[in-house]
Amino acid sequence: MKILHMYHDVMNLYGEYANVLAMRDMIIKSGEPCTVDKKSYGEEVDFGEYDFVYIGSGTERGQKSVLADFLPRRDAFKAYVESGKVALLTGNSFEMLGKTITDSDGRSYSGSELFDFTVTEQNKTRNTADAVFTAEFLSRPLVGFINKCSEIKGISEPMFSVKLGLGNCSDGKGEGVRKNNLFCTHLTGPVLMKNPEFLTYMTKLVTGRDVEPNLLAVKGYEVTVRELNARIEQ
Amino acid sequence: MKVFFTILICKLLRFVGKLIGKGSSFPGQIALKLCPDILSRVQLPEYIIAVTGSNGKTSTVEMIAHILSKNGKSVAWNREGSNQIEGVTTLVLSNATFGGKVKSDILLIESDERFARYTFKYIKPTHYVITNLYRDQLTRNGHPEWVFDALKDSICDGTQLILNADDPLVSLFGKDKKDVIWFGADKLSSDTETLESAYNDGAYCPACRKPMTYSTYHYNHIGHYACTSCGYKRHDTDYTITSVDLDGGEMVIDGKHRITLALKSLYNIYNILSAYTVARIVGIDGAEIAADMNDYVLKNGRVITFELGSRRGTLLTSKHENSISYNQSLRVASAYKEGCDVMIIVDAVSRKYFTSDVSWLWDIDFDMLRSENVGEIVLAGKYVNDLALRFEYTDIPAEKIHCYEDINEAVSYLDSNRKEYIYAITCFSDKGKFLARVKGE
């Protein structure tokens, strides 16, 4: 099987490369061989070759430069998503999939319009928070960290429900968005490494097999859930 | 009258605060309430030197104060590191006469990256040192470019910038400016031709976002860079580390000033260089500075030697959520030729705020410990599982690694018949838990 780590050298602000390692090892554990291709600006990509596509978070300026490179790939990526294959976009990378991104100077950038949402950035306050989200397709909450300066409006069916942390926009309790097997969340960092159930869920979608999670990841997850739940109860 | 009264109150509160062991922010906070523009109403000294950046602020400021004091200058500085506006106000007013004149020759301010723009509205530095911009406490700082934008707003007209030429993002502050003073290192014997880091923050030009190339890397993305497109490149330096022998513990500045190193890290040599640069600007002779910095041991408690039973070791305070800080400590341990064991503790991620985010562990080059100099590796603290998982993705043999959630149990394990030196690597938030179990020197 093949993993595509897109914009690995730009959209990798919070240790996101670990998500690719986590998926690679689960695929190998399922009994399949697995290779990882790292691609960036201007490189030729045939999404159809891949079984899992990942893009992580970058700076606001990094995201805009990536967006310019991504737009010509829009139709190919859309076809990948519509074929039901699995992709994960974390942090501000998924903002590229909406209608527009407006930066803090008021300049508007066209998005790739896989979704109807719009994004507005500001440069005054960094909104950061530990996060606990729940989803229908997971029995246990998702844990992680949010680090952003944007509001995302126009997502009517978010993927997660926010128990702690920040949602797509400040006046809602929903976070992220899903379409087929494309998963989008503003959580930053090694989301798959930190969330063994989310990883096994996605591994099943990629490989069709149930794979046992890494024991250390499970133990680490339990500590984080305990800490964050204590935070919620405070 | 208002100035007199505000200074009086501030001094009184500071005096009482010291007696009862309170921090240095509160007196300034009250002073600012009484007289919001108090800082623009006092008479400041000729030199107002500010130091900011992700890493090395506190150490650099301490070194500058040490050199200047040794050379007969009186220096007012925020040694407690209260580097927001309130702390700076306390510092200024505590050192002022009741008439509102700051008594010292030099006002030296360590300034928090996020708050500099507010502080310098009232108190304009004559000289402004920016040491580096790294991935540092991203759970509250966002990311280095976000910090860059915040710092950009803190730079006033008429302030002389003193910049690290080897840091591409820091150097951007001096782009197209004429009166900048640059410091940096020549190609060093410890340099590498390729990047040795889990991530590459120097991959793309901060000015135009096209690819950059490096002719040499000092560490991480710090080195000699040039943009392949817009011509942006490392600036020539005014004050320069011309050679370093980390094994022998010696650095040479400007080809002639030899300084022996108490702490053999690249980190330390940059702090020394920036302190040297400031002291030269103030008019101190290079040879004098070198003599003052020979074998200088920092007094800020970040490097502490200890005994544990029959074993000896050093605690290297390293910042959680800061991979470059960790990398420097790992480099020191892995270069210890006599052989050492290494302990790493991640228990409370921060002492100042809550977070359970450990994504920064993935940015640290733990593979550096895959060295014949390193024997056992002991991992400890609440986040020991996340640490151990990170180590699974290194090439370090699993049998070398020992994990304990409980720090006491980890220390007991180390208190054994092994003879190897111990390097303990952890943060301010966790070091007390370790130091409580060992005998400090």
Task: Tell me whether residues A217 and B389 touch, CB distance under 8 A.
Answer: yes
pLDDT band at A228 (very low <50, low <70, confident <90, very high): very high
Kindly state the average pLDDT of the residues A111-135: 97
User: Do the first three CATH levels of B2-293 and B303-440 match, i.e. the same topology?
Assistant: no
pLDDT band at B102 (very low <50, low <70, confident <90, very high): very high
Which helix (DSSP H) or strand (DSSP E) does residue B379 occupy? strand B374-380
Q: How far apart are CA A12 and CA A189, in angstroms?
A: 8
Q: What is the DSSP letter of B313?
A: E
Kindly state the average pLDDT of the residues A145-163: 97
Confidence at residue B121, expressed as pLDDT on a 0 to 100 scale:
84
Q: What percent of chain A has pLDDT over 70?
A: 100
Q: How far apart are CA B259 and CA B286, in angstroms?
A: 11
Task: Tell me whether residues B199 and A17 touch, CB distance under 8 A.
Answer: yes
Kindly state the average pLDDT of the residues A169-194: 96
The residues spanned by each domain of chain B are 2-293, 303-440
Q: What is the pLDDT of residues A32-67, one digit of tens each?
A: 999 999 999 999 999 999 999 999 999 999 999 999
Task: Tell me whether residues A149 and B354 touch, CB distance under 8 A.
Answer: no
Is residue A138 within 8 Å of residue A158, measured between CB atoms? no
B14 three-class SS: helix
> Does the pLDDT value for residue B21 go beyond 80?
no
Residue by residue, DSSP assigns chain A as -EEEEETTTTS-SSSTHHHHHHHHHHHHHTT---EEEEE-TT----GGG-SEEEE----HHHHHHHHHHHGGGHHHHHHHHHTT-EEEEEGGGGGGGSSEEE-TTS-EEE---SS--EEEE-SS--EEEEEEEE-TT-SS-EEEEEEESEEEE--SS-SEEEEES--SSTT-SEE-EEETTEEEE-EES-HHHH-HHHHHHHHHHHHSS--PPPHHHHHHHHHHHHHHHHHHH-
Confidence at residue A234, expressed as pLDDT on a 0 to 100 scale:
82
Q: How far apart are CA A134 and CA A233, in angstroms?
A: 16
Handedness of CA B320, B240, B147, B129 (dihedral sign): positive
> Does the pLDDT value for residue B60 go beyond 70?
yes
Q: How many CB pairs under 8 A join A and B?
A: 101
Q: How far apart are CA B431 and CA B433, in angstroms?
A: 5
Instruction: State how beta strands B340-345 and B106-110 pair.
Output: unpaired
- Residue to substitute from B228, B367, B386, interface A, most A β-carbons within 10 A: B386
Confidence at residue B217, expressed as pLDDT on a 0 to 100 scale:
97
User: What's the complex ipTM?
Assistant: 0.97
Neighbours of B212 (CB within 10 A): 24
Confidence at residue B119, expressed as pLDDT on a 0 to 100 scale:
84
| Nearest one of A100, A102, A108, A147 to A122, comparing CA atoms | A102
pTM here is: 0.94
pLDDT band at B80 (very low <50, low <70, confident <90, very high): low
> Does the pLDDT value for residue B23 go beyond 80?
no
Kindly state the average pLDDT of the residues B60-80: 93
Angle at B368 between CA B365 and CA B372, to 5 degrees: 165
> Does the pLDDT value for residue A85 go beyond 90?
yes
- Give the chain B residue nearest A91 (alpha carbons): B142
Kindly indicate whether the domain formed by B303-440 is annotated with CATH number 3.40.1180.10. no
Q: What percent of chain B has pLDDT over 90?
A: 80
Handedness of CA A90, A192, B366, B408 (dihedral sign): positive
Confidence at residue A17, expressed as pLDDT on a 0 to 100 scale:
98
Task: Tell me whether residues A15 and B363 touch, CB distance under 8 A.
Answer: yes
Q: Which ranges in B339-380 belong to alpha helices (H)?
A: none
- Give the chain B residue nearest A12 (alpha carbons): B199
Q: Which domains does chain A have, with CATH numbers?
A: 2-95+106-233 (3.40.50.880)
Confidence at residue B82, expressed as pLDDT on a 0 to 100 scale:
67
Q: Which of B11-25, B50-64, B356-370 has the lowest mean pLDDT?
A: B11-25
- Closest CA of chain B from A85, distance in Å: 27
Q: How far apart are CA B225 and CA B217, in angstroms?
A: 8
Residues of B in Cβ contact (< 8 Å) with A92:
none
Task: Tell me whether residues B146 and A126 touch, CB distance under 8 A.
Answer: yes
pLDDT band at B312 (very low <50, low <70, confident <90, very high): very high
Is residue A166 within 8 Å of residue A194, measured between CB atoms? no
Handedness of CA B8, B12, B18, B24 (dihedral sign): negative
Q: What is the largest CA-CA distance in chain A?
A: 50
Task: Tell me whether residues A126 and B142 touch, CB distance under 8 A.
Answer: yes
Is residue B128 within 8 Å of residue B179, measured between CB atoms? no
Q: What percent of chain B has pLDDT over 70?
A: 99
- Residue to substitute from A29, A145, A185, interface B, most B β-carbons within 10 A: A145
Q: How far apart are CA A16 and CA B382, in angstroms?
A: 22
- Closest CA of chain B from A18, distance in Å: 7
Confidence at residue B304, expressed as pLDDT on a 0 to 100 scale:
92
Kindly state the average pLDDT of the residues A122-133: 96
Confidence at residue B409, expressed as pLDDT on a 0 to 100 scale:
96
- Residue to substitute from B204, B323, B362, interface A, most A β-carbons within 10 A: B362
- Tokens 């501000």 sit at which residue? A92
Domain at B2-293, CATH class:
alpha beta
Task: Tell me whether residues A15 and B145 touch, CB distance under 8 A.
Answer: no
> Does the pLDDT value for residue A169 go beyond 90?
yes
> Does the pLDDT value for residue B68 go beyond 90?
yes
* Torsion angles phi and psi, residue A39, rounded to 5: -130, 155
Q: What is the pLDDT of residues B297-310, one digit of tens each?
A: 888 788 899 999 99
- Closest CA of chain B from A83, distance in Å: 32
- Residue to substitute from B138, B201, B210, B356, interface A, most A β-carbons within 10 A: B356
Confidence at residue B40, expressed as pLDDT on a 0 to 100 scale:
87
- Closest CA of chain B from A231, distance in Å: 9
> Does the pLDDT value for residue B81 go beyond 70?
no
- Give the chain B residue nearest A15 (alpha carbons): B362
Residues of B in Cβ contact (< 8 Å) with A9:
200, 203-204
Supply the mean pLDDT for chain B: 93
Kindly state the average pLDDT of the residues A139-168: 97
